[in-house]
Amino acid sequence: MGILKLSGYTVPELIGGAVVLSVLYALTLAVYRLFFHPLAKIPGAPLSKITYNREVYYAFFRNGRWPQQYSKDHEKYGPIIRLNPDEVHISDPEFYNSIYYMGTKFTKPGFFYGAWGIKSIMTAQSNSVHRFLRAPLEGLFARPSILAMNPMLQEKVDYLVDRATKVSNTSNGKLNIHAVTRAFTVDVIMEMCIGKGLDMLRREDLGKPYLDAVTGKSVLLWVADMYLSRWLKVDAPISRTVRLIPRKWIKKMEPTDIGFFYLYLMGEDEVTRLASLSPEELEKETYGPGKRTNIFKELLKPGIREKRNLSLEYMVDESFFILAAGLETTACTMTKTIYNILRNPDVHEKLFQELKEAFPDINTPMPYAQLDCLPYFSACIKEGLRCGDAVPMRLPRVVPEGGIKYKDYYLPAGTMVSMSAYMQHRDATVFPDPEKFDPSRWLGEEGLQRETYLVALSKGSRSCLGRQLAYAELYMAIAALFRRFEMKLVDVDDKDMVLQHIYIGSFHSNSQRPCKVTLVKRTE
C-alpha cells in the first residue's frame, strides 16, 4: 500500500515541513520581540519578552501568584519592566496619576476586560461608553445614597452580631472570619442590587460551598477566557459558549457547579421580572420594613431607561458584575484587617478604647456617618485597605495617541501599560516598613499626604464605583465585632493570610488554615 501523496508530497513530508515552518516562525518571532519590537529596550525577564506563557504558568501552576513574581522582576530590573511581549508594567507611586486620572485618555484593552463576555461599566473599553453607562449609577452609589441605606446595613450587621453571639455561647466555639464576612458582603450587595438577599448569614454553613465555587472556579474560568481571547482574537469564547446553554438546564444544576453564573441567573431573573412591570407597578416595588428600593428598579424607571436606551441585556450584565465585584474583594479586605488588628495588641486596644469612648452604650447602633469620623479607626481602615490586597491584579490600559514617556523610555500608542495596588502599597519610599501593619502612618499631616498613594479602589474617572459602599461595610462590620466581642486568633499566622489568584484576591490554597477566632461577648 503506497504512502498518500498531496501535490507530489507525502503526508509525513507535509507534517515535517509544517513543523519546520512553525519552528522558524517561532524563532523569527522571538528574535523580533527580543531585538526589534518597539518595546525591545524595556528591561525584563527574557521569557516575558518572548511569550505570554510565563504569566499562564503562574496563573495555573503556581496558585495564581503572578504579582509576587513580577514584584521580584522589578527588584531585579527596575521600576519599568516588560511584563509580556506587548505590555509594560511600572512600579512608581509618582507615576500612578499619569495613567489613572479624571478624564483619562487611556482606554481598557479588550482581551483583559472583555474576558467576562459581558457589557458593563467595568468592561467598557471606550471611555465615552464608560461615562455614558456610569452616569445613571453614580448617584446610586454616592455617599448620600449609601448613608440612606444605613438601616439595611445595620440589619445585616445585626445578623452578623447574632451569628458571632451564637458562636460565643458555644463551648470551644470558633468563628471563621472569612466565611462570615463573605456571607455579610454577599447579603448586602444582593439586597442593594435586586432587593433580596441570599440570607447567607442565617445559613448553618454560611453558604461556604457556594461561595467557594463563586470565588474559585469562576475566577479560573475568567483567566482561561482571557488567554483564549488573546490568542483567538475573540472576546470570552468560553463564557459566550456557556451562556448559550438553555437556562432550564443550567437551573437544574447546583450553584456550586456553576459558580459566578448563579449570580448572573439571579440578576437575570429579577431584572426581567422588574422590566415586565408597568410604571405604576414598578413604583410600588419596595423591599423590607424600610420600604427600600434597589438599583435596577431605579434604572428601569421610564425617565432613566428610555433616556439612556438601556437594553435589558445590558442591565442583566451590569447586575451580574456589580454582584460579583461586591463579594470577595470587601470580604478579603475585612478578613485581613481583622486579622492584622488582632495580631497587634497595641492597635487592638487603641481601637477598642476609641470605639468605647465614641459609643459608651455597647448596644447603641454605630452608623457609618459617625464611624468614619473616628481618627484612629479610620487609620485602621486605610491601613487595612493598603495591606488587604483584595485586587492584587494589575490594571492594564492602552496608551493613547501620541504615546507617553516614562523616564528614558518611550511607549508608543497602542502599547499596554499597567500598574498595580499590590506594588504601590509595598513601596518603601512612601510606606516605610511596608510589611508592618501600622495605622499610625495615616495620622497627622504625613498621613493626609499619603492618601494620594492609597489606590486599593483605583483612582480617576474609572475608579471603583462601589467605593462608599465598601467603606460603609468595612466600618460598620469591623466596629460591631470589636466593640461587642473580645476576640482571639486561633491557629493562624501570616502565611495563612497570603491571598491567592492574580486577579481577585482570595484564600484558596489547600495548605492555608482559615482565619478563625474565639469570642467572648463584652458586657460594657
Q: Among residues 334, 355, 308, which one has the least CA distance to residue 497?
A: 334
Least confident window among 351-355, 395-399, 500-504 = 500-504
Contacts of 205 (CB under 8 A, 6+ apart): none
169 pLDDT more than 60: yes
pLDDT at 58: 87
Q: Among residues 289, 308, 384, 304, which one has the least CA distance to residue 344?
A: 384
256 pLDDT more than 70: no
349 pLDDT more than 60: yes
175: part of which helix (H) or strand (E)? strand 175-176
Residues 387 and 359 in one domain: yes
User: Tell me, what CATH number does 471's domain have?
Assistant: 1.10.630.10
Amino acid at 267: G
Higher pLDDT, 440 or 15: 440
Half-sphere exposure of 234 (CA within 13 A, CB side): 7
Residues 147 and 56 in one domain: yes
pLDDT at 259: 66
- How far is C-alpha 25 from the geometric centre of its chain's CA atoms? 38
Question: In terms of residue numbers, what domain contains 189?
Answer: 37-521
Percent helix / strand / coil, the chain, rounded to 5? 60, 10, 35
Residues 21 and 139 in one domain: no
Residues 426 and 484 in one domain: yes
Residues 203 and 326 in one domain: yes
**Which residues are known binding-site members?**
464
pLDDT at 301: 81
Mean pLDDT computed over 392-405: 94
211 pLDDT more than 80: no
Q: How far apart are CA 59 and CA 46, in angstroms?
A: 19
pLDDT at 30: 94
pLDDT tens per residue, range 6-37: 566 787 877 888 888 999 999 999 999 999 99
Residues 328 and 427 in one domain: yes
**Which residues are known binding-site members for heme?**
464
Q: What percent of the chain has pLDDT over 90?
A: 53
Residues 127 and 45 in one domain: yes
Residues 247 and 387 in one domain: yes
Cell numbers describing residue 37: 519590537
Q: Are the CB atoms for 264 and 193 separated by under 8 Å? A: no
Q: Among residues 263, 322, 272, which one has the least CA distance to residue 122?
A: 322
Residues 24 and 136 in one domain: no
Query: 3-class SS at 84?
Result: strand
Query: 3-class SS at 488?
Result: strand
pLDDT at 296: 83
Higher pLDDT, 350 or 248: 350
Residues 121 and 225 in one domain: yes
Using the CB atoms, write b or e for 159-177: b if 16+ within 10 Å.
bbbebbeebbeeeeeebbb
Q: How far apart are CA 466 and CA 146, in angstroms?
A: 10
Longest dimension (CA), the chain: 95
DSSP 351-417: HHHHHHHH--STTS---HHHHTT-HHHHHHHHHHHHHH-SS-S---EE--TT-EEETTEEE-TT-EE
Angle at which helix 328-342 crosses helix 467-484, to 10 degrees, equals 40
pLDDT tens per residue, range 259-294: 667 777 778 888 888 888 888 888 888 766 666 778
Q: Are strands 87-90 and 416-418 parallel, antiparallel or unpaired?
A: parallel
Q: Are the CB atoms for 44 and 37 separated by under 8 Å? A: no
Higher pLDDT, 134 or 289: 134
Contacts of 311 (CB under 8 A, 6+ apart): none
Reported confidence tier of residue 190, pLDDT bands at 50, 70, 90: confident
472 pLDDT more than 90: yes
Mean pLDDT computed over 86-109: 96
Residues 23 and 54 in one domain: no
Residues 170 and 58 in one domain: yes
Least confident window among 11-15, 203-207, 432-436, 452-456 = 11-15
Q: How far apart are CA 227 and CA 232, in angstroms?
A: 9
Q: Are the CB atoms for 411 and 417 separated by under 8 Å? A: yes
Mean pLDDT computed over 87-103: 97
193 pLDDT more than 90: no
Query: 3-class SS at 454?
Result: coil
Higher pLDDT, 256 or 171: 171
pLDDT at 316: 86
Q: Are the CB atoms for 159 and 202 separated by under 8 Å? A: yes
Reported confidence tier of residue 61, pLDDT bands at 50, 70, 90: confident
Higher pLDDT, 263 or 515: 515
Q: How many domains is the chain built from? A: 2
DSSP 87-110: EEEE--GGGGGGTS-TT---B--H
What average pLDDT does the chain have? 88
